[in-house]
Copies of this chain bind each other. A is one copy, B any other.
Amino acid sequence: MSIAAGQAFAEWMAAVQARTETSLSRLLPSAESIPARLHQAMRYSTLGGGKRVRPLLAFAAGEITAAAPEAIDFAACAVECIHVYSLVHDDLPSMDDDVLRRGRPTCHVEYDEPTALLVGDSLQSLAFELLARTPQTDADRRVEMVRLLAAAAGSCGMAGGQAIDLESVGKALTQPELELMHALKTGALIRAAVLLGALCGAPLADAERDALDRFAKRAGLLFQVVDDILDCTASTATLGKTAGKDAAADKPTYVSLMGLDGARRFAAELEADALACLAVFGERSRRLAELATFIARREF
């Protein structure tokens, strides 16, 4: 990427992140509305941080289908609400028992445990309410978005990946087992972000949709492999969450399976595969390609 292209991409990213923050602030219940404490805790957990990787993917995929930004706002915020709910529940004492998230106290530390439980539950409901209300998108596509996101979030998606993760602590998983866990735990929602963004625009031909889906699956896996590398190499301050906790919890990761160099080589392969899937879209997939490269090389 040239310096000028790199700068244009950085500006696009910053613009989408700022737009997502504004949309989330507008679409979340206000901090004054009853029950105020719950709504404040929802806003505390959702606003003011986060890399917004899933909204970025939704907006980048929306460029492929020339989707209206006002529609993508709803899809992007819905996916982000599911992501944040999963973080809030994952941080609970009975799960990872973590105290730090995005550089701040986790929800149950800042508020209390019952409130954090209800924050996660309410954010999940809000995600589907937002999809049902997506503007400039016909009912057939809104129904398809609900179906996709619900499947991605549920017991055969993200929550199912969490369940496998719980059972895997202290076990040596094979690469296929590790890939299944991550395909569900992280991959399903990353994939949903891409597909939902594209669904906000013009219909894709079957072959195009398949290519986008293959891209989305590789991008999800790539994100997780890089996450595992960073958990092992970056500091808590850089990550804004507790570093090294997977190794400390004796959780299987790509680094524990392949070693650090092996995981880095695997990430490079996934990046190349993902980019190859986008060839069919040409220039329309520029942002999505840049984003895949960014995900592969991020340092936080």
Question: A residues engaging B (CB < 8 A)?
Answer: 29, 33-35, 37-39, 42, 85, 89, 92-95, 113-115, 117-118, 120-122, 124-126, 128-129, 131-133, 138-140, 142-144, 146-147, 149-151, 153-157, 159-160, 162-164, 166-167, 180
Taken together, the copies of this chain in the complex come to: 2
Decide if B126 touches A128 in the complex (CB within 8 Å): no
Decide if A147 touches B120 in the complex (CB within 8 Å): no
A178 to chain B, nearest CB (A): 14
A125-B155 contact in complex given A115-B163, A132-B146, A142-B143, C-beta closer than 8 Å? yes
Decide if A160 touches B35 in the complex (CB within 8 Å): yes
Output the nearest chain B residue to A144 by Cβ-Cβ distance: B132
Output the nearest chain B residue to A94 by Cβ-Cβ distance: B113
Decide if B129 touches A159 in the complex (CB within 8 Å): no
Residues on the B chain within 8 Å of A113, using CB: 94
Decide if A125 touches B125 in the complex (CB within 8 Å): no
A47 to chain B, nearest CB (A): 15
Instruction: Report which of B38, B92, B128, B144 forms a contact with A128, defined as CB distance below 8 A.
Output: B128
A99 to chain B, nearest CB (A): 16
Decide if A167 touches B35 in the complex (CB within 8 Å): yes
Which 3 residue pairs spanning A and B have beta carbons closest together?
A125-B154, A129-B150, A139-B139
Decide if B94 touches A155 in the complex (CB within 8 Å): no
